[in-house]
Amino acid sequence: MSIMKKINKYLPHIKGGILFYLDQGTKVEVDSNLKSRLRIEMVTNHMCKDVCAVRNKNVQYAFENMVSKGQVCVFAYVDGKMAGHAACVLPQNIEGAFRVKNSAYIHYCYVDSKYRGNNIYPLMLKSLIERCSTDKDITSFTITTSFDNRPSQLGLKKVGFSYLKRYYYVEWWKFKWKKITV
């Protein structure tokens, strides 16, 4: 690692993105040409290792941690093969820079590149929202994207999310300043 990369690693960084909001009330139908071959399942601890088929061991550990904290997580499978994942933090918790208070906060979403463009992302979101609405009586949801992640933003609109605001925070080592309340 070069000296500049080492120095940069220890400097504070400004992070930001776009916050989207969904107030559950509108039912949105999302279709996929893979729907007959697609299975979206709630993640349990023994399933976390499945994610290593498309991500690394650190992502497995992250899901084990999220499941143990009571987050609602889903894995998407196409023909039995791992295709994607998403997680949802329930109210009265903190996730990174986000203080989850007024809504559930969906995060850690990913679809393997060979399955992108098949509406798996919106279908995972829809599954999380339905599960949290039914089992946890949650009606409001938030999610973030980076400024330039246009495909994610389009997927959010398919599910019914609306633009709420831009957000920024400062990250230095593991510290995050100005928690964003969602």
Domain locations in the chain as residue ranges: 13-181
Task: Provide mean pLDDT across the span 46-69.
Answer: 96
| pLDDT at 174 > cutoff 80 | no
| Angle subtended by helix axes 150-159 and 120-136, to nearest 10 | 50
C-alpha 10/C-alpha 55 separation (Å) is 26
Percent of the chain with pLDDT over 70: 97
The third-level CATH classification (topology) of the domain covering 13-181 is Aminopeptidase (3.40.630)
From residue 107, alpha-carbon distances to 5, 88, 91, 98 in Å are: 28, 6, 13, 10
Task: Give pTM, 2 decimals.
Answer: 0.90
CA-nearest of 180, 96, 93, 90 to 141 is: 90
Which of 15-29, 46-60, 84-98 is least confident?
15-29
74 exposure class (CB count in 10 Å sphere: 0-12, 13-18, 19+): buried
The confidence score (pLDDT) of residue 25 equals: 61
Query: Hey, how many other C-beta atoms are within 10 angstroms of the C-beta on 129?
Result: 23
Q: Between 171 and 33, whose confidence is greater? A: 171
Residue that is written with structure tokens 């463009």 in the block: 117
Q: What is the side-by-side order of every strand in the sheet holding 93-95?
A: 93-95, 98-100, 180-181
Evaluate if residue 71 carries a pLDDT over 80.
Answer: yes
* Contact present, 107 and 121 (Cβ < 8 Å): no
Instruction: Tell me the mean pLDDT in the region 1-14.
Output: 77
For 126-136, what is the mean pLDDT?
93
Residue 29 pLDDT exceeds 60: yes
Q: Which pLDDT value is given to residue 129?
A: 94
Rounded mean pLDDT, 19-44: 85
Look at strands 104-111 and 72-78 and give their pairing: unpaired
Residue 78: pLDDT band (50, 70, 90) is very high
